[in-house]
Structure 1
Amino acid sequence: MNRISNLADGLHRTHQHTGWPGAGDADPHLASIASSLSRAADLVQARQHPTAAPSRPGQLDAEAARTRLMHVLYVSSHGVRVALNPYIADLQRRSDARQSSPRGDSLVRARDARERIGAIERLAGVSLKDRWPSALAHEHRERPWPSRLEAALARWDLQAHRTLAGPPTVSNLEVIAQTQQVIVGATATIGAAGAQQGSLDAAAVERVRPALAELGDSWSALRGDLVELRGRQARVDRPLIQAGNEVQAALREITHDRAGLATPDVMSDRVDLQVAAQQLYQSLTAAVDLAHVTRDALADPELTGGARGAHLMAHASNAAQTQAAWVDAGSLHQNRDVPLPNPVRDRLAERANRIVDTAISTDSSGLSLAARTTSHRSEPSLGRREEERAWSAQEANVIARRGCER
């Protein structure tokens, strides 16, 4: 880790010295990871005993944590290195054709950065060779906090509505689509585990399964379009990212075991699957309104997207084109945010309408699973009996003294 840290510091010094790459927005996913790791470091340092040595289980848990951190570095550095390949290939093509490169771009510096990031990837890979995923077997896990999932879902629904109340952005809508897709997938997983364990009605779970699959596909399709429309201004509302991360963490605490999915036995040992399924289905009921709000945000005339993605999506629509291009050449070259062409808006509207329809269908088919169960049955109330609704003599005298308009 110290060697990787030194390499990262060297990259930072080179960036400050050369000014490459220039100022710009960070990738929202990597920025979220960096923020989470920084927060975790603050929590550990605040609670670490200055002198006491950790126990043997504590040492094994720390080793599992270091392995996970190294895996994050390995995947992140690999992703950055792969992302540099098409960028370098484009600059190389311009150089071979004796064309000028855009201002601020540098083929030499990009190649140097790729090699140095590749060194970080190789170091992390060597560290993981004999540790991943075997070191995770001794990872310490507390039982999930019983109300964590319900609190996370409520916070997410509130924050998503707050974010969409402001000017809509493609990046925020992408986070909402991704998180809703995760919630739908976890609902299906926990529902199936509950049915297998006997906590839920298997027939009801099977009845809602096709609707859940269609709803998950609908959110996934919208997210794919929004990823394509992501431009240079990929700014995400920080509270929205935090709320979405908390939902995913609360769900993974139930549905995952080390590096893979947990078995139904493990899930049922961690939480009451019936209660967890009810909380998730109730969240999908509330998400019907979120689907409508998302549709309104996608229809907002102020919504903009990346020029390249908008051009490709409009061109693929085979819509009748006027004499003017869908996107001007300057915006296309710089991938600036531009107003969405009509074919793109039509496609997003189609995606949104499908989400609304499938959300309503899922809510209807999962109504029985979302209902709270009680330990005793009670007869349905039809209101007060007739003798209880009649005025007493004392009440009648009081009304007569006050007067009555009817």
Structure 2
Amino acid sequence: MATDLRLAYADIDQELFDVDQIPITARDVRSVGEMLFDVDYLARQLLMDVDGDAAGTLLRSWPTMVAAAEDLWASLPGRRPGVDERDRPITTLSAQAATIETSLSGRTAWPGQGPTSHRIDQMTQTFLNAAALVRRYGAEIPHEQPDAHRDLEAARTRIMHGLYLTAHAVNVALQQHGRDRVNDARSAGHRIHLAQHHSPYAIAPTGAWIDRISASENTARSYLSDRFAQALAGEAMRPVDDPGRLAQALANWDIQTHRALARELETSNILLITRTQGLIAGASMVLVDAAATAGALERSDRLIPAIAETGRSWSNLASRWGDLAPPGARLEEPLARAAAEVRAAYRQITHDKTTLASPEVIASRPGLPQAMHASLRAIEAGSELAVVVAEKADAPDLTGPARALSRRAHNDVEAGLATPPAEGDVVWVSPADILAKRLVPLPPPVAETLRAASDATIDATSSASAVVTVHMPSNERVPARVNTHQSPTGRNEVAPLTAGIPAKSRGR
């Protein structure tokens, strides 16, 4: 079911070959359940990454996300007329978020006016897309039947769990923001009064915002208490109705990554690319294990370790690019949509509701051989992508948030990952830049370890590509016609001679 209403190829005439007006050929074909699971995934990622510098952008984004969630909740079929106790938590959340939005409107004190969080905005848009699907096709759902009723309860639970995780992430960011302010004041020799409730770092004006977000978090938690696991047990899984879905998702992902990397450098895009490559490696290991269980692939002592090392390298590189992405950085929509479809296509094969399916269950699903071959092709082609990403680490104008880069520089030197300065302890980033939350050039230790992580990723992906080539059927191997030249940094770079062709739209 398509939710993207932008023009397709047939609607384009003179703009067809304008590189700035390339039409999107792959629309969002995820089900509502897949969208809700992705919100859950994005919220968990946000919770793991959150820091104090992002508190303002997260807080400004929160009311809009709640409004989108309420809109989706209201669109679900089977809603009872009048006041429904089941709807009271989302109504309460919406009212709480509305008061926060009113308080933020026109505010000059912290957090003031400014950008929103692209990560929460992405979840908000996913809720809106899901609501559009439900409104279009919800009348076809036999909500009075037990299975459909349980699936709708699971959908409500998914919505509320995504809000709960996001509220907790905003709360953590606010707490960390207060801690950063206390540490900055102490470093400058200033006295500061600690708070007497919640946390000693919930100082004004952060403490008031912590109170209000905590109320929202508690509202969501009260709905989920003693309900989460039971409700999700009734969730319906989308059957594997298109064996070629993963292959098409990965082909579109390859196209969108190269388009994004060919444009102006955006650290948020590179962060998404490196994280998704790590996800592809992890999911590929699951598919390889299932294929070996099914007898579709010969077991090997080299294949899974090589893919695992690739995943570790991509994840390490992602954590370093994450330090460079400012809180308000934006993502390219086609790239974000392609990554979401990759996650959904993998989960359709590898998961059983909330848990990873066993190798035997995965092996019994249709399309495993096609999915496994597509995944291995993505691993095989990853070495070229690693080189392109590594080029970005050599850009002379790279910048990042002062506080994150200061921490990374000191940690890398202390861990022995970067060359220690001859003069001893060095202040790599000015305290004034940290206090003002400026974007600053990369300190030498950060630049050094970013290049080292890029080189390690090239080595790991090249080794994995060689191992995968041996295990791929001859008719499935990526052609080896490439040009190899040496970059100014001394790396061997691999440049493909041919470009990928966009797959046909899967929109229905």
What's the TM-score once normalised by structure 1's chain length?
0.83
Deviation at 1:22, TM superposition (A): 2.1
Match of 2:471 among 350, 369, 385: 369
Equivalent in 135, 145, 163 of residue 231 of structure 2: 135
TM-score with structure 2 length normalisation? 0.67
Q: Distance in 1 between matches of 2:428 and 2:392?
A: 22
1:349-360 → structure 2 map (5 Å cutoff): 349-360=451-462
> For 2:429, which of 327, 345, 355 is the aligned residue?
327
The answer for the alignment partner of 2:281 in structure 1 is 184
Counterpart in the other structure of 1:126: 222
Q: Which residue of 1 aligns with 2:105?
A: 16
Deviations 1:46-87 (A, max 9, x none): 222299754332211111111111111111111111121122
Q: Is the 8 A contact 1:25 1:235 kept in 2?
A: no
C-alpha contact 1:229 1:307 (8 A) present in aligned 2: no
Structure whose alpha-carbon radius of gyration is higher: 1
8 Å Cα contact 2:117-2:327 kept in structure 1: no
SS at match of 1:133: helix
Q: Which residue of 1 aligns with 2:76?
A: none
SS in 2 for 1:305: strand
CA contact (8 A) 2:313 2:457 kept: yes
Q: Are 1:260 and 2:355 counterparts?
A: yes
Partners of 1:333 and 1:350 in 2: CA distance = 29
Q: Is the 8 A contact 2:237 2:352 kept in 1?
A: no
Cα separation, partners in 2 of 1:88 and 1:329, compared to 1, 3 Å:
closer
1:231, 1:305 within 8 Å by CA — same for their partners in 2?
yes
2:187 aligned with 1:115? no
Query: Which deviates more from structure 2 when the two are superposed, residues 172-181 or residues 222-231?
Result: 222-231
Out of 57, 73, 96, the residue aligned to residue 163 of structure 2 is: 73
Of 45-54 and 5-14, more deviation after overlay is shown by 45-54
Cα distance in structure 1, aligned partners of 2:138 and 2:349: 27
Distance 1:293 1:55, change over 3 A: same
2:265 aligns with 168
Q: Distance in 2 between matches of 1:292 and 1:92?
A: 42
Corresponding letter in the other structure for 2:148: G
The unaligned stretches of length 5 or more in structure 1 are 101-105, 375-406
Higher share of residues assigned helix: 1
Q: Cα 1:351–1:57, aligned 2, differ >3 Å: closer, same or farther?
A: same
How many residues are matched? 367
**2:182–2:192 Cα contact (<8 Å) kept:** no
Q: How does 1:240-319 map to 2 (within 5 A)?
A: 240-315=335-410, 316=413, 317-319=418-420
Q: 4+ residue stretches of structure 1 with deviation over 6 A?
A: 321-324
Check 1:240–1:197 CA distance in 2 against 1; reply closer, same or farther (3 A cut).
same
Q: Secondary structure at the match of 2:421?
A: coil
Contact 1:188 1:212 in 2 (8 A): yes
User: Aligned-pair distance for 1:192?
Assistant: 0.8
The Cα of 1:155 is off from its aligned counterpart by 0.9
The 1-side partners of 2:305 and 2:401 are apart by 34
Deviation at 1:98, TM superposition (A): 4.2
Quote how far apart the aligned CAs of 1:231 are. Answer: 2.9
Q: Does 1:32 align with 2:122?
A: yes
Tell me whether 1:149 sits opposite 2:251 in the alignment: no
Q: Is the 8 A contact 1:195 1:202 kept in 2?
A: yes
Write out per-residue CA displacement over residues 239-284 of structure 1, whole angstroms, 9 at most, x where no aligned residue. 2211111111111111122221111232233333222111001111
Deviation, structure 1 residue 329? 4.0
Q: Quick check: 1:170–1:230 contact (8 Å CA) kept in 2? A: yes
Name the SS for the 1:202 alignment partner.
Answer: coil
Q: Distance in 2 between matches of 1:272 and 1:368?
A: 22
Contact 1:231 1:336 in 2 (8 A): no
**Distance in 2 of aligned mates of 1:113 and 1:345:** 36
Cα distance, 1:3–1:269 mapped onto 2, change above 3 Å = farther
User: 2:134 aligns to what?
Assistant: 44
Tell me how far apart the structure 2 counterparts of residues 156 and 226 of structure 1 sit (CA, whole Å). 19
1-structure distance, mates of 2:155, 2:327: 34
Q: CA deviation at 1:303?
A: 2.2
Structure 2 CA distance, aligned partners of 1:28 and 1:182? Answer: 20
**Contact 1:157 1:287 survives alignment (8 Å):** no
1:88 and 2:185 aligned: no
Alignment partners' CA distance in 2, 1:148 and 1:91: 48
How far residue 356 of structure 1 moved from its aligned partner, in angstroms, is 0.9
Are the structure 2 counterparts of residues 137 and 167 from structure 1 closer, same or farther at C-alpha, using a change threshold of 3 Å? same
Query: Equivalent residue of 2:302, what SS?
Result: helix
Q: Distance in 2 between matches of 1:289 and 1:301?
A: 22
Aligned-residue Cα RMSD (Å) equals: 2.7
Instruction: Please list the CA deviations of residues 112-150 of structure 1 after superposition, one character each: whole Å capped at 9, or x if unmatched.
Output: 221121112112112112221111222122312222111
Amino acid at match of 1:364: A
Percent identity between the two aligned chains: 33
Q: Which amino acid aligns with 2:345?
A: A
Q: Which amino acid aligns with 2:170?
A: V
